[in-house]
């Protein structure tokens, strides 16, 4: 059987499903091929379930410390099974929503594994082994990424696992080790520490969040908070091997000081993700990838084949759901004949550690490296009425500007709800705002975004709620 | 001390240029490397930076005037301090002409506010190349604009970096884009037509008249055409071609071309046929050296292709077209035509042509009589293909059949080329177009 349509989207994650809906809005006939469930890693085994659990974990921790606020709680108990079913409900609601939107837009969904058989034909094999061929004028490859497995630490689905399984446990492990002090490792480690696990993180690099470009001061603040939660961080440490004995995982690692041996209930391996570009028959379609397997695309998300597009994790880092969605929108517009390109000025990112970290634009180091004469304004959450009233005063906002023009170059933050605050900063950068623009904008009191206004004032030495000795000219030119 | 700034040599073989626009006025403080004037030479516009810092004392030469390399164009007082910065709008003459251009809309805002305030080039700015079309200075180091404004620029086919923004830090507003689109090449910037070559339709106005300075590329084209017409006594010759078989060949190649990302028009086929013709009739690929009174036969086959742009006709050149296969030619045509429309041609792209092919038929018309791209000696006009009834001998009997027909029109410099040669040449080109398999024979 052969089906011809305008566009076939391979993968229904946050890149693919957004692209499909936008294509339908622009009058294209769309078929989406999905090998598992609508929503991809993001909705099913990533962003959404992890945030649901992290929210619950934070609440659980807050209740434990609620006595400081005069709230006395006795008999606090965690029912992991119930928590999981609540989380599953959240996921189902969202993925079901995509199904309904697809239906309303007349988007067809084909379940199965896709592989190109030529530049314009795609074979889709379903779970029963049946194959059908789809033909289309355009294709969007949105197949995402998978966790990298390292030799000696093969996933067994039970106690040597990746983040996906780590989000569906119905009991809290007493102890766990995490290989990889990156974003996922830190989020998972913090979550389970809050739920009561004894957590150790093994990181090969000299520091956590290595290579992420996140400001050193911010990483330092996070390190302190990990320590407060008794999360052991072993940096400069290489995980050597893992063995399962009597239901426990024996982990051997080599630190600078010498070997470390751990016995844990669970070993989580979060050392990075690789693009899902294998097995897609890309060579038969003529689609080129780089050495690491990422599909090469131009600013219109067009691959080396003019009618085949690729978006999201399968194209290039950073691996972010909202980046995939943005690329999906641009690819859809280009396919529909619009003169659209990817031209965002800055890509925001958030880490749901505790406190949260959020960044957009250049860090101080990056700005200096690019030759800017940098001016930085810092404002601590300890000076924010709102943060104090939330009992969450750790962290700060760091605003990076070009000394010559006052142009806002970046905002890097650690603190309560900064994943929300970063939206204002991203808008400011997209609009080409100066820090003075932010300082002159009235912010609601008492709220956390006031800290952005204050950090902007701090760039000019004019913050109200902290004392700054240096007062460069009252306002930037 | 007064520094006399002479028009520098801005490109190989260029010895004069037209002042398109002054970016400064007397009394302005300029810093070293700040662009002070926009000069147009042979279809390429360059912003000329000041070699010194100081206050502009005098501008020699009006906008639209042609100046020679080495002539003093401005005098800069190097001693004068920055305090002498004037915050006045543009010089009266420019402001007035800008207002005229912008009619009947309100008088344009003095958009050069950002220019009259001295601004350093961005520290990480691009290297200045005199042969490229230069973008205006962006005080923030890049063209600032809100996402919706950037989208609007794409829809209008405007390259954002070419627009001078009127907002703080040179921020570009939707109003700037509209003004840019209307002003065209008379400003520091040039519109591009990525999506479609839109001609800005003038607003309807009953009665009166509008005067627009005749400068820039339009004037350059005018001078060039007058010289061609006055120097070379033209004659023209028109013959028809049956394109049916070539169309079938192209249809066969289209999916392959598409798979390789090549936009395959008829032009590469015609260029191939032209090259075969030129090889046999080399006088059409020659030029007359009037200084030495010698006829120069060219063994390089550099084919110019006429491209309509918003600012006028430009003829970029496909170099060594004889050494390129069909798809390579097609690719280069797309590339160079695209760059012509977006104002991204370098001087090298438009120099050195030995013969020109111009596509006339895209709008309609039976055929057009082209003017030679002097100092070349001939130009071939490619007209529209349409179904026409023609008489063919079918099975021993004359019958009226429907075929895809096209006129080829050639103009030649009669000083050098005679009618017979032109006719033979055209006949030869036609023989390839009507039996395209013959082109295979010649394929390198």
pLDDT band for position B126 (cuts 50, 70, 90):
very low
Residues A188-202: tens digit of each pLDDT: 999 999 999 999 999
The burial of A101, by beta-carbon neighbours within 10 Å (0-12 exposed, 13-18 middle, 19 or more buried), is given as middle
Catalytic residue among A322, A412, A445, A460: A445
**Edge-to-edge strands of the sheet including B2-6?**
B2-6, B72-77, B54-59, B29-30
User: Other C-beta atoms within 10 Å of B173: how many?
Assistant: 16
Q: What Rg, from alpha-carbon coordinates, does chain B have?
A: 25
**Pairing mode of beta strands A259-264, A238-245:** unpaired
B195 closest CB neighbour out of A286, A339, A431? A339
Beta bridge partners of A202: A179, A234
Distance, in Å, from the CA atom of B437 to the CA atom of B444, rounded to the nearest integer, reads 14
Residue B322 has which token pair?
């004889």
Site from A304, A405, A406, A427 to mutate, B interface, most B CB atoms within 10 angstroms: A405
Residues A144-202: tens digit of each pLDDT: 999 999 999 999 989 999 999 999 999 999 999 999 999 999 999 999 999 999 999 99
**Lowest mean pLDDT, pick from B218-232, B373-387, B404-418:** B218-232
Measure B252 CA to nearest chain A CA, in Å: 17
B259/A370 touch (CB, cutoff 8 Å), yes or no: no
Packed helices B244-259 and B326-341: angle between N→C axes, nearest 10 degrees: 80
pLDDT band for position B13 (cuts 50, 70, 90):
low
Task: Let me know how long chain A is.
Answer: 477
Nearest to A339 by CA among B174, B173, B147, B156: B156
What pLDDT shows up at residue B10? 63
**Pairing mode of beta strands A175-179, A266-269:** parallel
In chain A, the residue whose alpha carbon lies closest to the alpha carbon of B144 is A432
In chain A, the residue whose alpha carbon lies closest to the alpha carbon of B146 is A431
Residues A326-338: tens digit of each pLDDT: 999 999 999 999 8
Distant-in-sequence, close-in-space partners of B343: CB < 8 Å, separation ≥ 6? B133, B159, B162, B190, B191, B192, B309, B311
What pLDDT shows up at residue B247? 92
Q: Is the dihedral of CA A211, A213, A217, A222 positive or negative?
A: negative
Residue A267 has which token pair?
């070993």
DSSP H or E segment with residue B407? strand B397-413
Nearest to B307 by CA among B362, B354, B257: B362
What pLDDT shows up at residue B17? 82
Contacts A430 to B, Cβ<8 Å: 146-147
User: CB–CB of A458/A384 below 8 Å?
Assistant: no
Distance, in Å, from the CA atom of B354 to the CA atom of B213, rounded to the nearest integer, reads 33
Q: Report, as an integer, the average pLDDT of A301-327.
A: 96
DSSP label at A477? -
The secondary structure of A383-435 as a DSSP string is: G-HHHHHTT----EEEEEEETTT-BEEEEEEEETTHHHHHHHHHHHHHTT-BH
What pLDDT shows up at residue B85? 37
In chain A, the residue whose alpha carbon lies closest to the alpha carbon of B160 is A343
Query: Does A134 have pLDDT greater than 90?
Result: yes
Residue A37 has which token pair?
């469930």
The burial of A24, by beta-carbon neighbours within 10 Å (0-12 exposed, 13-18 middle, 19 or more buried), is given as buried
B169 closest CB neighbour out of A119, A339, A434? A434
Site from B140, B166, B177, B194 to mutate, A interface, most A CB atoms within 10 angstroms: B140
Angle A311-A312-A314 from CA coordinates, rounded to 5° = 85
If one compares A378 and B53, the residue with the highest pLDDT of the two is A378
Distance, in Å, from the CA atom of A359 to the CA atom of A357, rounded to the nearest integer, reads 7
Query: Does A78 have pLDDT greater than 70?
Result: yes
If one compares A464 and B204, the residue with the highest pLDDT of the two is A464
Query: Does B255 have pLDDT greater than 60?
Result: yes
What pLDDT shows up at residue B43? 55
**Lowest mean pLDDT, pick from A50-64, A373-387, B171-185:** B171-185
B168/A434 touch (CB, cutoff 8 Å), yes or no: yes
A432 closest CB neighbour out of B123, B144, B259? B144
B169/A404 touch (CB, cutoff 8 Å), yes or no: no
Contacts B119 to A, Cβ<8 Å: none
Catalytic residue positions of B?
A: 414
Contacts A434 to B, Cβ<8 Å: 168-169
Contacts A406 to B, Cβ<8 Å: 169
B146 closest CB neighbour out of A370, A406, A431? A431
Contacts B171 to A, Cβ<8 Å: 432
What pLDDT shows up at residue B135? 66
Distant-in-sequence, close-in-space partners of B172: CB < 8 Å, separation ≥ 6? B143, B144, B145, B149, B153, B160, B163, B165, B166
Query: Does B142 have pLDDT greater than 90?
Result: no
Site from A339, A428, A434 to mutate, B interface, most B CB atoms within 10 angstroms: A339
B155/A434 touch (CB, cutoff 8 Å), yes or no: no
Measure B272 CA to nearest chain A CA, in Å: 26
If one compares B263 and A417, the residue with the highest pLDDT of the two is A417
Distance, in Å, from the CA atom of A20 to the CA atom of A11, rounded to the nearest integer, reads 10
B124 closest CB neighbour out of A341, A370, A407? A370
Contacts B151 to A, Cβ<8 Å: 340
For chain A, how long is the longest CA-to-CA vector? 75
The burial of A163, by beta-carbon neighbours within 10 Å (0-12 exposed, 13-18 middle, 19 or more buried), is given as buried
What pLDDT shows up at residue A95? 95
**Average pLDDT over chain B, rounded to an integer:** 78
Measure B125 CA to nearest chain A CA, in Å: 10
**Peptide bond preceding A318: is omega within 30 degrees of 0, i.e. cis?**
yes
Q: What Rg, from alpha-carbon coordinates, does chain A have?
A: 24
Measure B177 CA to nearest chain A CA, in Å: 16
Query: Does B276 have pLDDT greater than 90?
Result: yes
- Residue B246: phi, psi to the nearest 5? -65, -35
Measure A38 CA to nearest chain B CA, in Å: 30
Nearest to B336 by CA among B46, B284, B328, B301: B328
Query: Does A39 have pLDDT greater than 90?
Result: yes
Q: Report, as an integer, the average pLDDT of A27-44.
A: 96
B151/A119 touch (CB, cutoff 8 Å), yes or no: no
Query: Does B401 have pLDDT greater than 50?
Result: yes
Q: Which residues of B touch A (CB under 8 A)?
A: 120, 123-124, 139-141, 144-147, 150-151, 154-155, 157, 168-169, 171, 194-195, 258-259, 261
B147 closest CB neighbour out of A304, A339, A430? A430
Distance, in Å, from the CA atom of A302 to the CA atom of A296, rounded to the nearest integer, reads 8
If one compares B97 and B255, the residue with the highest pLDDT of the two is B255
B154/A432 touch (CB, cutoff 8 Å), yes or no: no
What pLDDT shows up at residue A209? 95
pTM: 0.60
Site from B139, B158, B195, B261 to mutate, A interface, most A CB atoms within 10 angstroms: B261
User: CB–CB of A188/A178 below 8 Å?
Assistant: yes
Q: How many CB pairs under 8 A join A and B?
A: 48
What pLDDT shows up at residue A349? 97
Contacts B145 to A, Cβ<8 Å: 432
In chain B, the residue whose alpha carbon lies closest to the alpha carbon of A429 is B146
Site from A432, A435, A439 to mutate, B interface, most B CB atoms within 10 angstroms: A432
What pLDDT shows up at residue B444? 47
What pLDDT shows up at residue A296? 95
B169/A407 touch (CB, cutoff 8 Å), yes or no: yes
B146/A405 touch (CB, cutoff 8 Å), yes or no: no
Query: Does A11 have pLDDT greater than 60?
Result: yes
Contacts A336 to B, Cβ<8 Å: none
Query: Does A395 have pLDDT greater than 80?
Result: yes
In chain A, the residue whose alpha carbon lies closest to the alpha carbon of B262 is A306
Q: Which of A134-143, B304-313, B396-405 has the highest mean pLDDT?
A: A134-143
**Average pLDDT over chain A, rounded to an integer:** 94
Beta bridge partners of A345: none
| DSSP alpha helix (H) spans, B292-436 | 326-341, 419-434
What pLDDT shows up at residue A461? 94
Measure B143 CA to nearest chain A CA, in Å: 9
Residues A220-266: tens digit of each pLDDT: 999 999 999 999 999 999 999 999 999 999 999 999 999 999 999 99
What pLDDT shows up at residue B338? 86
**Lowest mean pLDDT, pick from A389-393, B94-98, B204-208:** B94-98
Measure B2 CA to nearest chain A CA, in Å: 30
Angle B150-B155-B157 from CA coordinates, rounded to 5° = 90
The SS3 of residue A242 is strand
Residue B279 has which token pair?
């090889």
In chain A, the residue whose alpha carbon lies closest to the alpha carbon of B170 is A432
Distance, in Å, from the CA atom of A398 to the CA atom of A404, rounded to the nearest integer, reads 18
What pLDDT shows up at residue B14? 67
A119 closest CB neighbour out of B123, B141, B259? B259
Task: Let me know how long chain B is.
Answer: 444
């Amino acid at each position: 059987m052969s089906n011809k349509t305008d566009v076939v989207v391979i993968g229904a994650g946050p890149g693919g499903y957004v692209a499909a809906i936008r294509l339908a809005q622009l009058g294209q006939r769309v078929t989406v091929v999905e090998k598992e469930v609508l929503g991809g890693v993001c909705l099913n085994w990533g962003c959404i379930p992890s945030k649901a659990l992290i929210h619950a974990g934070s609440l659980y921790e807050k209740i434990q410390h609620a006595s400081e606020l005069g709230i006395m709680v006795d008999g606090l108990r965690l029912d992991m099974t119930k928590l999981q079913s609540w989380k599953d409900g959240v996921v189902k609601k969202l993925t079901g929503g995509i199904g309904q939107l697809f239906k309303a837009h007349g988007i067809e969904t084909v379940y199965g594994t896709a592989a190109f058989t030529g530049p314009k034909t795609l074979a889709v094999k379903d779970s029963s082994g049946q194959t059908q061929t789809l033909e289309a004028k355009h294709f969007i490859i949105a197949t995402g990424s998978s966790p990298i497995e390292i030799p000696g630490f093969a996933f067994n689905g039970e106690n040597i696992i990746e983040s996906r399984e780590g989000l569906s446990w119905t009991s809290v492990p007493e102890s766990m080790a995490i290989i990889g002090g990156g974003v996922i490792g830190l989020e998972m480690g913090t979550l389970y520490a809050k739920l009561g696990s004894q957590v150790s993180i093994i990181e090969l690099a000299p520091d956590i969040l290595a290579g992420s470009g996140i400001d050193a001061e911010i990483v330092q603040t996070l390190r302190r908070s990990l320590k407060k939660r008794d999360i052991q961080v072993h940096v400069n440490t290489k995980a050597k091997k893992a063995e399962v004995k009597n239901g426990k995982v024996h982990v051997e690692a080599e630190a600078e000081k010498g070997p470390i041996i751990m016995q844990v209930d669970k070993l989580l391996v979060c050392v990075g993700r690789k693009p899902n570009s294998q097995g897609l028959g890309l060579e038969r379609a003529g689609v080129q990838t780089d050495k690491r397997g990422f599909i090469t695309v131009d600013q219109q998300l067009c691959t080396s084949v003019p009618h085949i597009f690729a978006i999201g994790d399968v194209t290039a880092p950073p691996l972010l759901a909202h980046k995939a969605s943005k690329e999906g929108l641009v690819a859809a517009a280009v396919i529909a004949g619009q003169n659209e390109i990817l031209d965002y000025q800055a890509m925001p990112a958030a880490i749901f550690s505790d406190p949260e970290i959020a960044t957009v634009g250049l860090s101080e180091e990056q700005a200096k490296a690019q030759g800017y004469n940098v001016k930085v304004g810092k404002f601590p959450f300890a000076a924010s009425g709102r943060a104090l009233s939330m009992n969450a005063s750790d962290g700060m906002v760091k605003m990076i500007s070009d000394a010559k023009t006052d142009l806002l170059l970046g905002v890097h933050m650690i603190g309560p709800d900064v994943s929300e605050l970063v939206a204002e900063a991203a808008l400011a950068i997209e609009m080409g705002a100066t820090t003075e623009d932010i300082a002159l904008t009235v912010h609601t009191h008492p709220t956390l975004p006031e800290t952005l206004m204050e950090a902007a004032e701090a760039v000019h030495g004019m913050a109200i709620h902290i004392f700054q000795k240096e007062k460069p000219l009252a306002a930037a030119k | 001390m007064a520094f006399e700034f002479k028009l520098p040599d801005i490109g190989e073989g260029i010895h004069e240029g037209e002042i398109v626009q002054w970016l400064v006025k007397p009394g302005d403080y300029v810093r070293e490397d700040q662009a002070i004037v926009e000069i147009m030479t042979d279809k390429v516009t360059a912003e000329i930076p000041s070699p010194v810092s100081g206050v502009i004392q005098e501008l020699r030469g009006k906008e639209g005037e042609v100046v020679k390399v080495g002539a003093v164009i401005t005098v800069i007082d190097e001693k004068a301090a920055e305090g002498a910065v004037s915050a006045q709008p543009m010089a009266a003459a420019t402001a007035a002409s800008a207002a005229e251009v912008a009619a009947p809309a309100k008088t344009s805002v003095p958009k050069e506010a950002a220019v009259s305030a001295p601004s350093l080039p961005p520290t990480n700015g691009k290297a200045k190349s005199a042969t490229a079309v230069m973008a205006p200075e962006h005080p923030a180091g890049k063209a600032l604009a809100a996402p919706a404004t950037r989208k609007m620029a794409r829809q209008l086919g405007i390259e954002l970096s070419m627009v001078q923004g009127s907002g703080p830090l040179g921020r570009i507003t939707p109003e700037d884009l509209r003004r840019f689109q209307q002003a065209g090449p008379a400003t520091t910037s040039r519109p591009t037509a990525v999506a479609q070559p839109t001609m800005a339709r003038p607003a309807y106005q009953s009665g009166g008249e509008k005067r627009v300075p005749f400068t820039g590329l339009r004037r350059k084209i005018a001078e060039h055409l007058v010289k061609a017409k006055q120097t070379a006594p033209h004659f023209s010759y028109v013959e028809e071609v049956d394109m049916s078989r070539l169309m079938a060949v192209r249809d066969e190649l289209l999916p392959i071309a598409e798979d390789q990302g090549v936009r395959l028009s008829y032009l590469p086929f015609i260029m191939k046929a032209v090259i075969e013709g030129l090889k046999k009739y080399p006088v059409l690929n020659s030029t007359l050296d009037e200084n030495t009174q010698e006829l120069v036969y060219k063994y390089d086959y550099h084919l110019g292709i006429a491209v309509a742009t918003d600012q006028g006709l430009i003829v970029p050149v496909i170099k060594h077209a004889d050494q390129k296969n069909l798809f390579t030619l097609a690719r280069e045509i797309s590339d160079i035509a695209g760059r012509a429309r977006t104002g991204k041609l370098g001087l090298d792209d438009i120099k050195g042509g030995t013969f020109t092919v111009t596509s006339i038929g895209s709008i309609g018309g039976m055929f057009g009589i082209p003017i030679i791209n002097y100092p070349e000696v001939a130009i071939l006009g490619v007209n529209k293909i349409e179904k026409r009834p023609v008489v063919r001998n079918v099975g021993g009997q004359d019958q009226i059949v429907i075929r895809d027909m096209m006129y080829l029109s050639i103009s030649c410099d009669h000083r050098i080329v005679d009618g017979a040669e032109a006719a033979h040449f055209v006949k030869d080109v036609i023989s390839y177009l009507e039996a395209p398999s013959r082109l295979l024979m010649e394929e390198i």
